[in-house]
Amino acid sequence: MRLTCPCCGPRDRREFTYYGHETFLHRPAPDAGGQAWDDYLHNRDNPAGPTRDLWYHDPCGTWLVVARDTVTHAVEGSEALA
């Protein structure tokens, strides 16, 4: 598997650390309540098909969102968070 780091180009997946679905980007307000925080922290779909998840490129420290397909394994693209 290969992913494209926006900073370093296409690289082997061994250089990346997986985090989880991009849900982690949408941090609720501190007072959003228990349900919102549970959903943010723990509740995830298990999609068969397109998904967007977070990866860290260890050598350069860039976090990226990767759009890929869990069925075909096709990687559509990736973009840096910042």
Partner 1 sequence: MSGGWRIPGRGAGIDRQRPLRFRFDGREMEGFAGDTLASALMAAGVRVVGRSFKYHRPRGVMTAGAEEPNALVEIIEGAQQTPNTRATVQELYAGLQARSQNRWPGLGFDALAVNDFLHPFLGAGFYYKTFMWPRQFWERVYEPIIRRAAGLGSLSGRTDEGAYEKAFAFCDLLVIGAGPAGLVAALRAGRAGADVIMAEADTQPGGRLLADLPEIGGQGARDWLAGVQAELAALPNVRVMTRTTVTGAYDGGTYGALERVGLHRADPGDLPRECFWRIVAKRAVMATGALERPIAHPGNDRPGVMLASAMPAYVNRWGVAPGRRVAIFGNNDSALATAQALTAAGVQIAAYIDPRPDVPALQDFPVYRGAQVVGTRGRMGLHTVQVRHADGVSEVPADALGLSGGWNPTLHLACHMNGRPEWDARIAAFVPRDGMVPGLTAAGAAAGGLSTAACLTDGARAAATALADLGLPVPEMTPPGAEDAPYGIAPFWAVDAGGRAWLDFANDVTTKDVAQAAREGFASVEHMKRYTTQGMAPDQGKNSNVAALAVLADATGQSIPDTGTTTFRPPFVPVSIAALGAGGRAKGFAPERRLTSDAQSRAMGAPMIEAGLWYRPSYFPRVGEATWREACDREVAMVRGAVGVCDVSTLGKIDVQGPDAGRYLDFLYTNRMSSLKPGRIRYGLMLREDGHVMDDGTCARLGEGHFLVTTTTAAAGQVMRHMDFVQQAFCADWAVRFASVTEHWAQFAVAGPRARDLLNTLLDQPVSADSLPFMACQPVTVAGVAGRLFRISFSGALGYEVAVPARYGAALFSRLVEGAEALGGGAYGMEALNVMRIEKGFITHAEIDGRVTAFDLGVQRMLSAAKDCIGKPASERPGLMDDARGQLVGLMSVDPADRIDAGAPLYAADAPARAENWQGHVTSAGYSPTLKGWLALGFLSNGRARHGEVLCIHDALRGRKLMARVCDPVFLDPEGRAMRG
Q: Does 61 bind partner 1 (CB under 8 A)?
A: yes
The DSSP line for 15-60 is GEEEEEEGGGGSPPPTTS-HHHHHHHHT-----SSEEEEEEEETTT
Applying CB under 8 A, among 7, 8, 41, 47 the residue interacting with partner 1 is 41
Q: Does 58 bind partner 1 (CB under 8 A)?
A: yes
Please report how close the Cβ of residue 17 comes to partner 1 at its closest, in angstroms: 7
In Å, how far from its chain's centre is CA 58?
Answer: 14
Applying CB under 8 A, among 6, 15, 23, 56 the residue interacting with partner 1 is 56
